[in-house]
Structure 1
Amino acid sequence: MLVLLGLGAGWYVTNRYAGNLERTDAFGGLDEAARPAAPTEAASGAAPLTFLVVGSDTRAEVAPGELPDGRSDVMMLVRVTGERRHAQVVSLPRDSWVSVPGVGMAKLNAAYAYGGPGLLIETVETLTGVRIDHYAAIDFAGFVQMTDALGGVDVEVAETTTSGPYTYTAGANHLDGQEALQYVRQRHGLPGGDFDRVQRQQQYLRSVFTSLSQQNVLRDMGALDSFLLALTDAMVVDETLSASALLDLTYEFRSLRPDGLTFLTAPVAGTGREGAQSVVYLQQDRAEELWGYLRNDSLQAHAAEFGLDTLPAVPN
């Protein structure tokens, strides 16, 4: 009876949440022979997993031969270690000047506009030599719903700034969905411009993880249901993330905690212009070191070598 109840609960969960997700054939057009090698299994028996997480202006499905309507504003490589207790989140500046296969040199976020998830994955794999296992995209409208379902997020603001109708005062701020969206998208009026925006995106992500683990969301089935429905409704994932695969990953990641997350940004050499475009130049030698650590699953031990900017603490 207990086994049957467990199977029934598993079926309900996977169909209610995983069935709520949209899926895209993100890897279908890639040349498998040209892709980076898959990582080897760790001593724990599990290979590390790498996700490309994208926040974009649109999550609409893209028909073959058509371009998506929007560009990807947020791009993060999330590497979960083989022992599943740590993850490194590496932000890729959207204006990074990179080689886009079949296009030439362009901004990184243009890869999504030119060829959707497939070309963005190919571009990031070409840049890093890191094989991407899964793709997940969230649209900004869904971002608002997800944040509100969580009851908002808490962030620490270094100095008072204003963006649109919202003012973020220095110190602790509790943000609802619309406020959080404007917060992570603001770059004008920030001392570091787009680099400060990247740090805000990382800060938001850590605040979400902290809220899930420290507040009552995981014990409040109603709140948890609302959050998971909002999250899955906002996302598009690759087709390999089936309902059963998602259930397996949820179990595997049960030991991952906020203090097991390390946030970094791809090393930057500086900014400049390419024609009429303002671009970011990556520091190639340092970036290659970082990609190498990712490839051999040792970035956790070497993260401090990259001059980590400590994120502000999540307010209590």
Structure 2
Amino acid sequence: MQDATLAASNADRPDAGDHGGSQGRGPHPPAVAQSAADGGGSQGRGPQPPAVARSEADASGAWGASPVGPALARSAADGGGSKGAHPSGPAVARSAADARTQLQTILDKKLLKECVHCGLCLDYCPTYRVLGHEADSPRGRIYQIRQVYEGKISADDPDFREHIYCCLDCRACQTACPSGVQYGAIIEAARAIAEPISPSEKTVGRAILGTVFTRKPLLDAAGLGLRLYQRTGLQGFLRKSGALRVLPPRLREMEAMLAPAQGGIRRWAAPQVSPARGPVRYRVGFIEGCIMPQLFGDTNAATVRVLAANGCVVFSPPK
């Protein structure tokens, strides 16, 4: 349904075949492969949303077509009609106009218009390569965010949230973009308005971010607790027994997203100086980060080993 909607909108574009083929850019997922006769226009690049260059007066036509199906095409006047449907918990009631105003406050529309939908980012997007959905591509997400910006769809729509949160925020597309689109800033602004939270949730979130993540002893204690939770088998027992159902929906979702901790109970700490193997070629600084040493110590250790093997003296600041 998603690709069919986009293909239909592309068929009406006078410039549908003007973007040129992208020969040599590698195969695309079968789900989005289509010929020019199907309205794809750009060989091997899948369906494209309408060009950004269209005037504001003409926006009500092409930009009114949703890239992700009927659910996102709901009228802005009814606020999306999907409040509370997101699995992370009940949403705070608000209108599409509220979300639009909030997005317009934190995001300059010029950033959205910089995307020309050329499709050069598609091969670099992991979610697009795996899922094959235009709505899960960088340009597809920018298209949806612009529709929220213009009040065409609601930020509370569960389909919109799904595609926005499916993004890994790796920003590989941003590196590949010839137009220099600031995709990271765009997706972060969208996420800021896509998940309305209650005052109590906001208070708890601020308390965690303002205390645990800013005080190393508390962060180390939290990391130790997570490693014990996983290594002792408690996590597996609670998941199999169904005991986690007593948690609020948002906490259940957060627990389900916990990555497996690397290493043992004790976290790996980078030595202050790691000598190079062989002739010294570089002297580099290595910062462990906040979460990496708690859950991904093996990755940090491997990074230091690779740097040392390539002739780097690695300096890590005191903890």
TM-score after normalising by structure 2? 0.24
For the pair shown, the structure with the greater C-alpha radius of gyration is: 2
Larger RCO (CA within 8 A; separation ≥ 6): 1
User: Where is the strand percentage greater, Structure 1 or Structure 2?
Assistant: 1
Structure with more of its chain in helix, by fraction: 2
TM-score (normalised: structure 1): 0.24
